[in-house]
Structure 1
Amino acid sequence: MSDYYDMFLAVDLPPELSEPVLSEVRWLLGQGDMPTEPRATDWESWGGPWQAFAGGSASHAFAGADVSALTRAVDRPEPDGGEPWALTVRSCVHEDDFGVTMDVVGWLLRHATTEGWVGFIRDSGLGTVRHLVRHADGFDLVDVRPARRPPAAPPAPR
């Protein structure tokens, strides 16, 4: 049985995102035509390009649906009045596609303006969860560890 990864990503992209990048993002989400030369990853080593985050159907291995949305954040304008692009993706990723998917995530995050926590990845086989954390040098996958409650304080003497 194959493992799957439940991936969630939520970032802002700059208002002035170039048209070639915006077109490729839309294509990756299933909202536009394939660019002449897709640049998100070396697709040829993976058998050719595909719309990695097309969404719109039930998740193959997890409860819920694979979804993707790209919209202007009109209620959160930047100081100069520009409206960032708000991008959210929830996608079920097969283990064979994990490497290329993370290449595409890295490409998206190079264009993002969001810093810090931007999502998570959950493994169907191990049940582990890793946070996606974006920083100036790229991104990290950070293991989630269970939090333990501190022992309760004994009751105060009366």
Structure 2
Amino acid sequence: MQVFLRSGRGELAHLVQSADPDLDRLQGRRDDRPTRPTYRPAGSSSWSGTSLSAPLAWSLGRLVTLSVADHRVHRVSDLYELMIAVDVRDEISATELVELSWHLGIGPQPESLAIVTRFPVVVEDDDGIPVIEDDPYPLLAGRGVGSRVGGALCSALASRADLPRKGWSLMSRQEIHPDEFEKVGELLCWLAARAHETHLREDGAIGIGFLRFYEAEVPDVLQVENGQVGWPT
């Protein structure tokens, strides 16, 4: 599970928890002394070098780290173009439709969530005490200009009431970082489970769109198989 850390001042950083016993060695550490992780304020393009309190990080587990050297820290050079185009069956409830519209950025946030239910963040209060809170955000709601993939980011949802195959058709073009694969994948798996049979491939996978690394010229087919999105490894 990926967790995000936010201080009482509203600064946001990505916090990675790993069960890998070799994590210290992979990051070049030569002893067992805890390091003081650094954070990057939200919206900043460079690391501030400011240290978070050691109890905040280490209270979440011995192997919690946040470091510039860690390859899992957000980097602009890791962005992908995500293109989703799915026709879903007429099996979505009114409350699910509201939640889906919110994820696409075309509707308000519902009072409760049923599609993707957990958005954990670690909040450091003014006393430096870490508390895990839920901070939901829409997953496919990007708008405006793509910073790396070019073109415009957008999402849409249309009724298929007048077509033989009833239901809803949706599309979304987003700029996505691998750190977002897990949460976006939960939504895509939910969509795939309700997709029309036209999305079913010969191998049993469900085609839901395309994914392109921002430097690549040709996208890869994105599909869901056995409840898992085929993200690049």
TM-align CA RMSD: 2.6
Indicate which of 183, 189, 199 corresponds to 1:106: 189
Tell me, yes or no, if structure 1 residue 40 matches structure 2 residue 102: no
Q: TM-score, normalised by structure 2?
A: 0.51
Structure 2 unaligned segments of length 5 or more: list them.
1-74, 122-133, 202-206
- Give per-residue Cα distances to partners, 1:18-66, cap 9 Å, x unaligned: 1121111111011112122223334332562111111431112211111
Structure number with larger C-alpha Rg: 2
Q: Secondary structure at the match of 1:119?
A: strand
Tell me, yes or no, if structure 1 residue 27 matches structure 2 residue 102: yes
Indicate which of 102, 109, 115 corresponds to 2:200: 115
Q: TM-score, normalised by structure 1?
A: 0.72
| More moved, 38-47 vs 83-92 | 38-47
For 1:124, give the aligned amino acid. Answer: Y
Q: Is the 8 A contact 2:142 2:175 kept in 1?
A: no
Q: Is the 8 A contact 2:185 2:229 kept in 1?
A: no
For 1:51, give the aligned amino acid. Answer: P
Distance 1:53 1:74 in 2: 24
C-alpha change, 1:35 and 1:103, in structure 2 (3 Å) is: same
Q: Secondary structure at the match of 1:118?
A: strand
Identity among equivalent positions (%) equals 28
Distance 2:154 2:104 in 1: 9
Distance 2:167 2:176 in 1: 27
C-alpha change, 1:42 and 1:15, in structure 2 (3 Å) is: closer
For 2:93, give the aligned amino acid. Answer: S
Q: Secondary structure at the match of 1:111?
A: coil
**Residue 142 of structure 1: how far off its partner (Å):** 7.8
Aligned to 1:60: 147
C-alpha change, 1:41 and 1:33, in structure 2 (3 Å) is: same
C-alpha change, 1:131 and 1:37, in structure 2 (3 Å) is: same
Q: Is the 8 A contact 1:4 1:125 kept in 2?
A: no
Higher relative contact order (CA 8 A, sep 6+): 1
For 1:141, give the aligned amino acid. Answer: G
**Residue 129 of structure 1: how far off its partner (Å):** 4.1
Q: Is the 8 A contact 2:82 2:175 kept in 1?
A: yes
Aligned residues: 138
